[in-house]
Structure 1
Amino acid sequence: MNIGLTGGIACGKSTVSEMLVRRGAMLVDADRIAREVVEPGMPALAQIVERWGAELLLPDGSLHRKKLGEIVFASPDALQELQRITHPPIRAAMRERMAELQRLHPDKLVVVDVPLLYESELQSLFEAVMVVYIPRELQLDRLMQRDGLTREQAEQRLRAQMDIERKKALADIVIDNQGTLEQTEGQVKTFLKERRLL
C-alpha cells in the first residue's frame, strides 16, 4: 500500500513520518528531493539563477534558500514561477522512488511525504492521503517559534498553502497532532492496525 502524507507547514508531518518509519514503513521525502533538484550542477538551480540572479547563490555555489524564500513568499507570481521550475523534476524523482520501493518491498507501506500534495493535485498518485492536522492559530505559533519568524512572515507562508481546514476536509485519514506525542502515536498505531500493517 502507498499513502501520500501531507499537512500544513509546522503541523508535524516529519514527526508522523518518523513514527510510521519506526513501524516499518518506507519513506519518500519530497522535501529532500526538492533540495536535491536545486543542488549545484542541477538544471533547476541554473533556471532559478537565470530568473532571479546570481545573488541567490552562496559562496560555495549552493542555493541561498532563505533569500529565495523571502522573494517567493512575498509574491504569489514568483512562487508559481519557482514551482514551474522545480515541480516537474521533483515529481519525476518522487514517482521513480515510489515505484522502486514498491517493487523492492511489496509487503511494506510506502509513505510519500509531500507538503504541497493538494496544491499540486497529486492525490491520484496515492491509494489514500493522510493529513497531519493542527488548528491554524497553533500552526502560526509553532511556525513562528520553530523558524524565528514574525507573525507577518508566518502568515505569508501560511497563505502560500491551502488552508489546513480544507486539507483536513479532503483527507482520507486525519492525524490530529495538537495533543501529546503519545496521543499522536496512538492514532498512528490505530491507522496501521486498521490497515493490517502492524
Structure 2
Amino acid sequence: MLLLTSAGGVFAGGADIAELRERGRDEALQGINSRLFDRVARLPLPTVAAVGGYAIGGGAELAYACDVRIGTPATVFGNPEPGLGILAAAGACWRLADLVGKSVAKQVLLAGRRLNAEAALACGLVAEIVGSEELLGAADRLLDGIAAWSPSALRLTKLVLDAPGAHPLADDLAQAVLFETEDKNSRMAKFLERRKA
C-alpha cells in the first residue's frame, strides 16, 4: 500500500509556475507529471491520499490518481490551470470526471470552482473528513483495514475496477484465479469457524 500525505498544511501546491513558464511543446509531450501520476494510479496495490490542506493544480491531480482520499476541514481541491493559459494535463481532465461526475469536473476545470472539504465529501472525492490532528491516525486505520484483506483479491479487484467499460469476462477470470488460491480457502474457513462460535 502507498500513503501520500500532507506537510505543513499543504498536500501539494502543484508546479513551480516560474519553471512551468519556461516549458515548451517538447516538455509537454514528455508528459512528465502525467506519466508519474499514471504510475501511481496503476500501482497494483491500494493507494491513499491523506489531504490535510490545499491540493491545487498538479497536487490535486496527484490526489485524484490515488484510490482513496481522506481530508480535514482545511482540505481544498482546485485546478486553476486555465487561468494560467494551460490545462490540467496530468489526468484531471478525465480522472476527475470519473471520480465526481462530468458536471462537477467541469465546474472545477472550466469555472475555477474549488472543492472544500464538505463539497469534496458530498461528491465522493474524499471518503471522510477528520480533524487535522487525526489525519494520520485515520489514514493508518484505513490502511490497517485494507491490509487485513487478501492482497491477491485487492490486486485483482483494482485491476477489474480500473478496466475500461463493462467487463463481466474480466470479473469471471479474476474470480476464477482467486477461487483456486489457498488464501481464499483459509479466509473462508476462518469466517465459517467464527460463525459456528
TM-score by shorter chain over 0.5: no
User: Which has the larger Rg?
Assistant: 2
- TM-score w.r.t. structure 1 length? 0.34
Greater RCO, CA 8 A, separation 6+: 1
TM-score when scaled to structure 2? 0.34
